Amino acid sequence: MTTRYNHYIGGEFTPPASGKYFDSTNPYTGEVWAQIAEGNSEDVDRAVSAARSAFGEWKRMTPTARGKLLTRLAELIEENSAHLGEIEVRDNGKLYEEMSGQTRYMAEWYRYYGGLADKVEGAVIPTDKANTLNYTRYEPLSVVAMITPWNSPLLLLSWKLPAALAAGNTVVVKPSEFTSASTLEFAKLFDEAGFPTGVFNVVTGDGRNVGAPLVAHPDVAKIAFTGSDVAGAAINAAAAKDFKPVTLELGGKSPNIVFADADLDAAVSGVISGIFAASGQTCIAGSRLLVEESIHDEFVQRVIDMARTAKIGDPMSRETQVGPVTTPAQFQKVLDYIDIAKSEGATPVLGGKPYEGEGSSGGQMVEPTIFTDVDNSMRIAQEEVFGPVLSVIKFTDEEDAVRIANDIDFGLAAGVWTSDIGRAIRMTEELEAGTVWVNTYRSVSFTSPFGGYKRSGIGRESGSEAIKEFLQTKSVWISTSPHRGNPFVLR
């Protein structure tokens, strides 16, 4: 029995204009479990029109009232987190243990921006002009398009959606064609929370037939995108034609840097969580392990020993530590990169092939894989694999570590493991990355800005400054002068 999902437009679940549906497959079992509406530009038009019609009422609602609705939505997310987590696992194969926590935690973003909605204050600006009042107002943009990837569909949507709604925008979302179901289950909560219809809309389908027309739609004022740098570049170019602002959260090839003076037990665990959690399918994966030469062999052996104990299997089981890779294409891509690493001369010291042991089920499983003797110029060190593949690179000293870490087009995140506080601070200053972790890895919060340097993106999500990504500033001038000046002279 498969479940059939329609678009969510203007508060209704509506069938696609094409009348067609495509399959959604469980990556662990390989079975088709859902059918998703195959959208096209006609559906995009309908969704943008619904969002545009809802914009007037939504922006005129007081920020306090918008905030209350977001807070109510946060409560409903918490009540439904187990169900939403289960849908995500069925669609993307990540561990239920992680996804159920994630779907619960994402409620905090709605609560945070719900609270922030009525705290975005303009300023009265003292100017050099006599008898004038000048102040700023922050105003919404109108319809914001959001395009999300398959790896954590609801959490990544939640990093942008509540900020945009709190700011007074209405939204059309296109989730990944591989993981659309959870966004549609989530859409049901909007009606229950009491949002006006059309404030939130979902159109499903692929990048070419839904994503591209959504980006190009004349009534879409901004695009907030999370995904690969390749799609991000195409979206950025298309948006630039119409001067539309973008927020781009893109890929990474983050260095996890271990100095000889680090607490090595903590570092081993941080390295494992950086690359093998979520089978390496996270933008912040610490996929380049930089190890100080003097501890290289001992440290790598400890990482191998811990990685070898990982229980691979059914993502719904609480014991499983490494689950499947989400899509057949991604599975092949990971295997191709393993071949590339071997052909480049890297040494495979763990894994390196599809997992076929106990708990494999015909789905797309890859063994946790580690390569040593990696040079930073190799493709396996420079390109995002988005799978459970770790490249180990040696460094000689602090300066060498910084040079290697920054010698890359990406700049999403970096980890540093050291017990020297001076070194820790120097490293946080030198590393070219939007997030730097010291003696920890993978921490994120609704309170703290997240985003990339270099090819990892444009703009920031989360934290109080991110709401400005969905607002535009208006400067208002009011004359208080009883006199009229010379109209032929600009003052």
> Which amino acids are annotated catalytic?
249, 283
Contact 412, 250 (CB under 8 A): yes
Gap between the Cα atoms of 146 and 203, Å rounded: 10
- Position of tokens 């999500």? 461
Applying CB under 6 A, among 84, 154, 156, 304 the residue interacting with ligand NAD is: 156
Of the residues 6, 151, 169, 364, which one makes contact with ligand NAD according to CB under 6 A:
151
SS3 201: strand
Rule CB under 6 A: is residue 215 a binding residue for ligand NAD? yes
What does the alpha-carbon distance between residue 71 and residue 93 come to, in Å, rounded to a whole number?
29
Q: Least distance in Å: CB of 22 to ligand NAD? A: 12
Query: Interface residues for ligand NAD in 39-58 (CB under 6 A)?
Result: none
Question: Closest approach of Cβ 223 to ligand NAD, in Å?
Answer: 8
> Which phi and psi (to 5°) does residue 343 adopt?
-70, -20
Residues 251-270 close enough to bind ligand NAD by CB under 6 A: 251-252
Alpha helices (H) in 309-466, listed in sequence order:
328-344, 379-382, 398-406, 421-430
Q: What are phi and psi of 186, to 5 degrees?
A: -60, -35
| Residue selected from 108, 314, 384, 469 as contacting ligand NAD according to rule CB under 6 A | 384
Using rule CB under 6 A, residue 36 touches ligand NAD: no
Interaction residues for ligand NAD, span 326-345 (CB under 6 A): none
Contact 34, 86 (CB under 8 A): no
Q: What is the DSSP letter of 362?
A: S
Residue 138 DSSP label: E
- Name the DSSP letter for residue 168: T
**Taking the complex as a whole, how short is the minimal distance between the CB of residue 165 and ligand NAD, in angstroms?**
19
Nearest distance from C-beta of residue 462 to ligand NAD, angstroms: 10
Q: What DSSP letter does each residue of 14-68 carry, written as one string?
A: E--TT--EEEEE-TTT--EEEEEE---HHHHHHHHHHHHHHHHHHHHS-HHHHHH
Output 304 or 431, the one with its CB closest to ligand NAD: 431
Contact 114, 166 (CB under 8 A): yes
**Does 93 engage in binding with ligand NAD (CB under 6 A)?**
no
Q: Which string of x and - marks every residue 172-211 that binds ligand NAD (by CB under 6 A)?
A: --x-xx----------------------------xx---x
Stretch that binds ligand NAD, among 55-63, 114-122, 246-254, 261-269 (CB under 6 A): 246-254
Shortest distance, CB of residue 444 to ligand NAD, whole angstroms?
Answer: 9
Structure-token pair, residue 223: 């695009």
- Among 336, 340, 347, smallest CA distance to 373 is for 347
Among 117, 157, 202, 235, binds ligand NAD (CB under 6 A): 235
* Residue number closest to ligand NAD, CB atom: 211
Residues that bind ligand NAD (CB under 6 A): 147-151, 156, 174, 176-177, 206-207, 211-212, 215, 226-228, 231, 234-235, 249-252, 283, 384, 386, 412, 452, 457
